[in-house]
């Protein structure tokens, strides 16, 4: 019987693939058989991530630098992956930036930085990989949104939340525009995920409790909690799902 969740031989680019979430998603796709390209700006970090993933799964893994906010850099990544691995089947946009600033003191320079990374970066990556997917008549795109993209928050979240709402709209619009080419475009919307960048929250019992109280399942997520959804959205199992954001949030947005 065909295993509709397997990704054997598929080529996946994971932008932000050395980050807290991106690394686990890249590892997860590799565990299910994909050839994974770990891509972000820090060459040392992506090389280490690719080496570690290959050491665990034995599947082909590459590290190729990219700045997703730079169209030329993204084009070079796409050309390089096609030349080295023959094609691209899956794009996971796990890169991103979070800057918390109160609205009345929001430096517009920081606002631009957030939009440049999270919105422009997502769109540019989709645009260049989308061209390859259009030509081959199939492809899977998984963007990273957030619970912050659907609910209103105080606490300096206006900029980040606006970018994550935009990621959801990019996801919906591309899903419709590219449906004729059999390209599935979906997003994952996590609540707080404990990674090396957020471990300080888990280690602060008072702060951790504030977050936990908002989560019906009563615990904080770690990046492993996102692997199943990413593999599902990258696989044949999700062929009739497009334009959706799946909230992996312990029930937070169900309230
Ligand atoms: N952690 C959470 O609680 C949480 C919750 C909800 C949603 N998310 C979303 O999930 C995604 C991953 O978050 P994370 O926690 O894994 O963050 P992270 O650990 O900071 O990783 C983000 C990665 O993005 C890469 N990146 C940033 N700008 C880039 C650019 N211009 N070009 C290429 N790569 C770039 C960085 O690598 P380089 O510096 O090497 O470029 C970094 O490895 C983000 O979109 C975030 O908003 C996170």
- In contact, 253 and 245? CB cutoff 8 Å: no
Q: What tens digit of pLDDT does each residue of 10-31 get?
A: 999 999 999 999 999 999 999 9
Whether the model clears a pTM of 0.95, i.e. scores above it, the answer is: yes
Residue with tokens 């957020």: 198
Specify if 111 maps to a domain: yes
User: Ligand 1 pocket check: which of 96, 114, 168, 215 to mutate, most ligand atoms within 8 Å of Cβ?
Assistant: 96
Q: What tens digit of pLDDT does each residue of 165-179 get?
A: 999 999 999 999 999
How far does the centroid of ligand 1 lie from the alpha carbon of residue 2, in Å? 34
Specify if 203 maps to a domain: no
Long-range CB contacts for residues 146-149, cutoff 8 Å, separation at least 24: 146/189, 146/190, 146/191, 147/189, 147/190, 147/191, 147/247, 147/249, 147/252, 147/253, 149/189, 149/245
The CA distance from 78 to 88, in Å, is 8
Q: What is the pLDDT of residue 41?
A: 98
E-assigned strand segments in 176-244: 183-190, 193-194, 221-222
Q: What tens digit of pLDDT does each residue of 46-94 get?
A: 999 999 999 999 999 999 999 999 999 999 999 999 999 999 999 999 9
Q: What is the pLDDT of residue 176?
A: 98
Confidence of residue 9 (pLDDT cuts 50, 70, 90): very high
**131 phi, psi to nearest 5 deg:** -65, -45
How far does the centroid of ligand 1 lie from the alpha carbon of residue 19, in Å? 6
Q: What tens digit of pLDDT does each residue of 220-247 get?
A: 999 999 999 999 999 999 999 999 999 9
Confidence of residue 38 (pLDDT cuts 50, 70, 90): very high
How far does the centroid of ligand 1 lie from the alpha carbon of residue 118, in Å? 9
DSSP state of 212: H
Residues with CB under 6 A from ligand 1: 15-16, 18-22, 40-42, 45, 66-69, 94-98, 117, 121, 144, 146, 190, 192-193, 195, 197-198
Q: What is the pLDDT of residue 209?
A: 96
Q: What is the pLDDT of residue 216?
A: 98
Residue whose Cα lies nearest atom 44 of ligand 1: it is: 96
% of the chain with per-residue pLDDT over 90: 99
Specify if 199 maps to a domain: no
Q: What residue numbers bound the domain in which 143 lies? A: 11-194+222-248
Q: What is the pLDDT of residue 186?
A: 99
Residue 110 tokens, joined: 């920081």
Specify if 89 maps to a domain: yes
Specify if 81 maps to a domain: yes
Q: What is the pLDDT of residue 167?
A: 98
Q: What CATH number is associated with residue 147? A: 3.40.50.720
Q: How many domains does the chain have?
A: 1
Q: What is the pLDDT of residue 135?
A: 98
**Which residues participate in catalysis according to the annotation?**
160
DSSP state of 11: E
Specify if 141 maps to a domain: yes
Specify if 204 maps to a domain: no
Residue 188 tokens, joined: 């994952």
């Amino acid at each position: 019987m065909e295993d509709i969740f397997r990704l054997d031989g598929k080529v996946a680019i994971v932008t932000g693939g050395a980050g807290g979430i991106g690394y686990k998603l890249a590892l997860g796709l590799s565990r299910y058989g994909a050839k994974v390209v770990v891509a972000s700006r820090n060459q040392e970090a992506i090389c280490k991530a690719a080496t570690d993933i290959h050491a665990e799964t034995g599947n082909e893994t590459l590290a190729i630098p990219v700045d997703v906010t730079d169209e030329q850099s993204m084009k070079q990544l796409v050309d390089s992956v096609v030349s080295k691995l023959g094609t691209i089947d899956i794009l996971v946009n796990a890169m991103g930036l979070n800057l918390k600033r109160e609205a009345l003191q929001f430096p517009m320079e920081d606002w631009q930085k957030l939009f440049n990374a999270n919105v422009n970066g997502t769109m540019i990556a989709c645009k260049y990989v989308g061209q390859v997917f259009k030509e081959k008549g199939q492809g899977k795109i998984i963007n990273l949104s957030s619970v912050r993209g659907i609910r209103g928050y105080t606490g300096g979240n206006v900029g980040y939340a606006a970018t994550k709402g935009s990621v959801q709209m990019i996801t919906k619009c591309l899903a419709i525009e590219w449906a004729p080419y059999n390209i599935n475009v979906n997003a994952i919307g996590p609540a707080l995920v404990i990674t090396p960048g957020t471990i300080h929250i888990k280690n602060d019992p008072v702060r951790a409790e504030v977050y936990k109280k908002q989560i019906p399942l009563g615990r904080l997520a770690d990046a492993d909690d996102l692997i199943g959804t990413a593999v599902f959205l990258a696989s044949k199992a999700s062929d009739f799902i497009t334009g959706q954001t799946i909230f992996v949030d312990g029930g937070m947005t169900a309230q």
